[in-house]
Chain A
Amino acid sequence: MTKSSEKTPAPVLSVRGLSVSFRGARGVWSEVVRGLDLEIGAGETVALVGESGSGKSVTSMAITRLLDPETSRLGGSILLDGQDILALSEEDMVSRIRGQKVAMIFQEPMTSLHPIYTIGDQITEALTVHSPMSKAQARKQAIELMQRVRIPNAEARISDFPHAFSGGMRQRVMIAMALASRPKLLIADEPTTALDVTVQGEILDLLKDLQEEFGMAMLFITHDMGVVAEVADRTVVMLRGDMVESGTTAQIFDAPVQPYTKGLLASVPKLGTMRGEPVPLRFPVVNMANGSVTPGTKLDRTPDTAAPLLKIRDLVTRFDMRGGLLQRRVAQVHAVEDVSFDIYPGETLSLVGESGCGKSTTGKSLIQLSGGRSSGSVDLSGTELFDTSGEKLRRLRRRIQMIPQDPLASLSPRMTISEALTEPFLEHRMGSRAEALQKAERLMRQVGLQPDMLARFPHEFSGGQRQRLCVARALMLDPEIIIADESVSALDVSVKAQVVNLLMDIQQNLGIAFLFISHDIAVVERISHRIAVMYLGEIVEIGPRSAIMERPAHPYTRRLIEAVAVPDPSRRHSRRSQEPQELKTPLHPMSYVPPKRRYIEIAPGHLVRDDVTTAA
């Protein structure tokens, strides 16, 4: 274990031998954090890194004593600003520690704010609860705080409710609340994980600025090595409750000692590693036990570009907003607007863009599952999908399958895996029950699982295994195209690489085409033959992967690629020069006529939206 070489004369937070145990079923106590040592000085940032289940969030809850005392036990010592946290009563924690010495921000800005109080109420509450002041004074300070975290138009927005804010703005509100009483320590628990890349960059810059200004200590909890490199002075790596390695961030990145740290760093998808590669490349295979890396292999099968498998023309999907006396349509969300593209057999086309850009709706609209009103043309090798309905459409859906983002939510908890896999096969009358089982067993092997796991239930699998099950379920119907909607976004880095490699194996063996929908550009760079960039429901740029990644022509594409956090500690003190932007919405009144777009072909197959002559 490497000791920090930096001097920390009077640490704000000093954790020694922290252990956390939870009471599980039948009163059995299990230790989820063991022997954690941590020290953070004023103005310093320490990152706590690890994959899900490593105990990093539990540690933050232990420091603020937010765990239920009836089902959890804390051991070791936690000194915060010289005070022994574990010796304080709950009343002392409330009146002297939480919200004063230590403040927190969380992963989910969407659910971390109370939905039925205005953000002004929530910020002033954080102000007044610890230092009594008049209403007018509290309001004035709240507006100042909002301006500090760069919420545009703070004075007008103070009486808005959280639902009127985008994710990034809500996270700013959370930060404003945390800063209300100038805490000595700020704990940020995955503060940017749920945000879009461009917004993530803005929030990280903001946190860096505020830390300089307030001189507070920061405990930054994340699984994203790119974020770690960008914010942390020192890094602590955790694995299943144990502290694996700790040291300065530069040390951890340049000369990791422990195999797990090496493995973790090697599995981080890095943007730009595909430069000059003509075809998609599998992720390097990382052995997490010894940290050794086997380089990824090429995808040998090339797409069949003779005739497109799926031809989409002028796809439009709109959602109605109703109101008034007779609940008439008063406005429309133009979720997908005039989208056209082709997918060839054996090809992967990626749709990238920020949340709300219509990429998922595009995927769902193809098989008429979006719930909105769609028009245009979707041609699956000669059959127009938008002309079919009912039973015929149901049979056509066999040929287009989906792999969802959240595998646990999409597997029925009351069905065994064998039932879940054979059901679609039997439903489409593709063969007998025995044949279905045979196929399920074969596919289980193909996705890297054991056939005897078929008798289990979904909750008995890990996240990565469940996603493999969803892949197997999609393959049961011999689809020609698979829509993978953020299918690997929720997985840990090491597992993510494995599942992406699995998808590429399947494409190589079976020649299936993929519509790969993702916001994770580093993954998209690996898997795609072609990439389409979406913004506010429209494609702004589409073309071969190398063209989009290496020669992006549309300003939005450039902005998107630049915003990705790069796992390189030397960039730590740099700032992006991007202005914070409130997300635009494609909500328009009924009378709105979307402008007719023109695309310019700047290279063979590389189309860019012409914004000069068709500016909206």
Chain B
Amino acid sequence: MLTIFLSRLLRMVIVMLGISVITFLIFFATPGSDPAARIAGRNAAPETIAAVRHDFGLDRPLYVQYGLMMDRLFITRDLTSFANRGQKIVPTIMSAAPATLSLVAGAAILWMALGATTGIIAAAFRNRLPDKILMGASMMAVAMPVFWVGEMINLVTQSRLHDTWAFSWVPPLGYVPLTSDPAGWFFALVFPWICLALMYIGLYGRMLRTGIIETYQEDYIRTARSKGLSARRVLLKHATRTAIIPIVIMFGMDFGVLVGGAAVLTEVVFGINGVGRLTYQALKALDLPMIMATVLYASFFVVVANAIVDVLCVMIDPRMRQK
């Protein structure tokens, strides 16, 4: 157990090191990204830029700059933004993270529950009406862009029908911290959750349906049926457990990527100041410290989510356990 944990940790450090180096190099290879010019401001004299460059250590070799940045990011934790003078990077991300985590975790519960239900029901009624309806609906859910769905939801719940009994409870756009007002937190996130989960419900439902139907071709399903198990038990206990493994693996990827910032469209549409939005702004401003921090934060979650998924997979399928 300890060796597995240590080897995971080692792998995570290697992944994050690689990503940070690549991010760093790409940044300096990007045209117009010279941080000194940006810090010095518009129409600054060449002497000023040179002075700034020297002050910020930007005239030193790249590997020294990289080392300094890692030091200020992880050890002293006082790395500041290049774009917004004085903005401390680490606290900014720390304050944005809970919003993103709340959004993605809630949506994940929703899409796993509904996606699994959709897939199982569709597989049980394969090629019959319930299957066709569910698959049609999930195809639509996958096809509709998140920002469009979000705007439609806002149009209905915030403006057109906001004053009716159905949606009067919907709070204005934005994030309410869980610690200050749990109920407010929940109500504020209901529609963002639905909006973010919709596509994944469709995607996971379709994948699980295909997986279960394929599993029905396996010899051990025939064994289960010949034992005299009911159709429901064969479906839930014997077919679904094998078919759910690829879904769990995909879930790890998706969850990590979303927590790392890929939920940006939902965050922007619902006015949630999350990590995705932060990353987007940093990229727009070519703000290296913020980009670096958000990218590393994202990769951390991808690696962690994958580690959790590996543990889950071993729990579902004991064959994956190493001897």
Contacts and interface: CB of A to CB of B under 8 A. Distances in A.
B76 interface: no
Interface stretch (A113-121, A458-466, A521-529): A113-121
Interface in A162-191: 163, 174, 177, 180-181
Nearest to B220: A114
B3 A324 contact: yes
Given A114-B238, A115-B317, A161-B318, A129 B228 contact: yes
B241 interface: yes
B319 A66 contact: no
Interface stretch (A101-109, A141-149, A274-282, A295-303): A101-109
Nearest to A103: B226
B84 to A, nearest CB: 43
Contacts of B227: 98-99, 103, 125-126, 129, 177, 180
A323 B238 CA distance: 30
B220 A112 contact: yes
A509 interface: no
Contacts of A125: 227, 229
Contacts of B223: 104, 106, 112-114, 174, 177
B166 interface: no
A167 to B, nearest CB: 13
Which of the listed residues B223, B224, B225 has the most CB atoms from chain A within 10 Å of its own CB? B223
A103 B225 CA distance: 10
B220 A66 contact: no
B225 A161 contact: no
Given A103-B226, A114-B220, A163 B319 contact: yes
Contacts of A66: 222, 225-226
Contact of A111 (B220, B224, B316): B220
A128 to B, nearest CB: 11
B242 interface: yes
A106 B229 contact: no
B55 interface: no
Contact of B3 (A115, A180, A325): A325
Contact of B7 (A64, A103, A321, A325): A325
Nearest to B316: A116
A384 to B, nearest CB: 37
Interface size range on A against B: 35 or more
B231 interface: yes
Given A116-B241, A323-B323, A64 B317 contact: no
A73 interface: no
Nearest to A322: B322
Given A116-B318, A163-B319, A326-B7, A111 B226 contact: no
Contact of B225 (A98, A108, A130, A321): A98
A348 interface: no
Interface residues of B, number: 27
A161 B317 CA distance: 10
A90 interface: yes
B6 interface: yes
A111 B322 contact: no
A498 interface: no
B322 A112 contact: no
Nearest to A187: B226
A327 B222 CA distance: 38
Contact of A115 (B231, B242, B322): B242
Contact of B226 (A64, A116, A130, A321): A64
A111 B318 contact: no
Nearest to A90: B231
Interface in B148-171: none
A125 to B, nearest CB: 7
Interface in B286-323: 316-319, 322-323
A252 interface: no
A397 to B, nearest CB: 35
B181 interface: no
B218 interface: yes
A262 B228 CA distance: 39
A415 interface: no
B87 to A, nearest CB: 40
Contacts of B30: none
A130 to B, nearest CB: 6
Nearest to B218: A111
A508 B229 CA distance: 57
A115 B319 contact: yes
B219 interface: yes
By Cβ-Cβ distance, the 5 closest A-B pairs, closest first, are A99-B228, A98-B228, A111-B219, A104-B226, A99-B227
21 contacts: A64-B226, A95-B228, A98-B225, A104-B223, A106-B219, A111-B220, A112-B223, A114-B224, A116-B242, A116-B319, A118-B318, A125-B229, A126-B227, A129-B229, A129-B233, A174-B223, A177-B227, A323-B322, A324-B7, A325-B3, A326-B7
Given A94-B229, A129-B227, A163-B319, 15 more contacts: A66-B225, A95-B228, A99-B226, A99-B227, A104-B226, A108-B219, A111-B220, A116-B242, A116-B319, A126-B228, A174-B223, A180-B227, A323-B322, A324-B3, A325-B7
